[in-house]
A and B are shown apart, each in its own frame.
Chain A
Amino acid sequence: MESRHDYDDIPGTTVFDAERSRRGYHLNMFCMSLMKAENRAAFKANEAEFLERFPMSPEQRQAVLKRDWNRMIELGGNIYFLAKLFSTDGKSFQFTAAQMTGMSQEQYAQMMLAGGRTPDGNRSKSEWKNRG
C-alpha cells in the first residue's frame, strides 16, 4: 500500500524510506552480493541465472537485466546498493546519473561543470507539471 508523505511532492526524487526498503530488500541484497568477486564473476557469466538466487519480483529482475535505473529505484532499489551493480559494469555514478536524467553523459557533465541543476523550478511536482 502506497502511503503519502510530504516528500512525495519533490519531483524526480524517490526517497528511500522504510516502505521502499522493504519492497526493495531482495533487489538491494542482490546488489550487495556483488561486493564479492566470485559473485561478480557468476553474475557476469549468466545474469538471469544468478538473479534466480534472490527472491526478487519478475519486474525487479527485468529492470536489472535492462539496467533500467529509474525503474529499479521505483521498485525499491537504493542508489548506494545499485552502485554495486553499475560498478560491476565498470560504470560511474556520473554515467548512471546521466542515464537516470535522460541526458548524455557529456551533457550531464557539462551541467555539473556549469554549477549543477538549480533548485529553482525543481522543488515541487507542481513546477514540473507547469513546464512546457
Chain B
Amino acid sequence: MASIYAGLSTSHVPAIGAAIDLGKTGEPYWQPVFAGYEFTKRWIAQHQPDVVILVYNDHASAFSLEIIPTFALGCADQFAPADEGWGPRPVPVVQGDAELAAHIAQSVILDEFDLTIVNRMDVDHGLTVPLSLVFGQPAAWPCRVIPLAVNVVQFPPPTGNRCFNFGRAIARAVQSYPQQLRVMIWGTGGMSHQLQGQRAGLINQQFDNHFLDAIGPDPQSLVRIQPLEYLREAGSEGIELVMWLIMRGALHERVQVLHRFYHVPASNTAVGHLLLDNQV
C-alpha cells in the first residue's frame, strides 16, 4: 500500500531558480535563503520518496488564457521544463508516475473532485524551483514527480477549504493504491507577495508567520481564510498560499513540524518553508 509519510511546503520564486542556475547561491543576498533548506536536504537524503505529488501553479507557461483548469493533474510519463521566455531552465526532465497519477485521477473524480487530466504539459519554475531547492543540481531528479497544477492566475482560485478537502481526497487515493510506495506531498507558492500595481512589494510578515505557525497544529483556522483576506493581507499573488492547504489536507490531523524557515526577501517575495512528518 502506498502512503504519504511527509509533507513539505515552500515558495517557488523564479529568481531563486535563476540564482541556482547562474551559480549565485553563495552570494550574500542568496546565502541565507539556501541555508534555510540545508536541514531538509539532509533529511530527505535519508528519507527518499519514491514519488512526490507536487502542488504548484503554472505561470502562463503551459496554460494560456485558452484553457484555465482549476485543478490539473499531470498523468504523463515525462514533463519537460518550460521555456518561459528566456529558454528552459537547465534542469532534468521530470519523470512522472503515470500509473499512480491515473489512479489518483480516477479516485478523486469518483470522490467528487472533478479535476482535469493533462497528458502533455511543460512545467515551469513553479514546479522546478522547489525541486532544485530540495535536491540541488543532480543529473536526474531522484524520484518521480506527479505535477498538480492549480489555477491561481485568474481570480478566483479554489478556496482554502476546497483545497484542504481536495488534499484529503488525494490522501484517500494514495492509501488505496496497492503498490508499496513512499509518497511525499509538496505544497508550493507564496508567501506574501504582490507583483503588480502601485502596491507591488507588499510583504506581511505577521500574516506569514501566523500561517507557518498554524498550518501544522491548527490548519482549520487557516482553511477559513477568505479570498479577500488573502488579497488584502498577503498580496494579490500571496493567494498562492491556498496550495499549501492541499498539502496539509493530505496529511493526518496530527503532524510534527521537523523544520520551519522564513526569510524576506527573495526578489519581491517572502520565502517560507516547512517540513512536516506525517508518521506521528
Contacts and interface: CB of A to CB of B under 8 A. Distances in A.
Interface of A: 6-7, 10-18, 21, 25, 28-29, 31-32, 34-35, 40, 69-70, 73, 78-81, 83-84, 87-88, 92-94, 97-98, 100-102, 108, 111-113, 115-119, 122-124
Contacts of B227: 7
A70 B264 CA distance: 25
B151 to A, nearest CB: 11
A108 B65 contact: no
Contacts of A15: 155, 231, 236
Contacts of A83: 59-60, 84-85
> Which bracket fits the contact residues of B?
35 or more
Contacts of B85: 34-35, 40, 83-84, 87-88
Contacts of B264: 112, 115-116
Contact of A14 (B196, B204, B207, B237): B196
A25 B203 CA distance: 29
Given A21-B154, A80-B59, A70 B197 contact: yes
Nearest to A74: B197
B142 interface: no
Contacts of B86: 87
B47 interface: no
B46 interface: no
A9 to B, nearest CB: 8
Interface string B194-205: 111111111111
Contacts of B156: 17
Contact of A113 (B84, B200, B265): B265
B97 interface: no
A34 B85 CA distance: 7
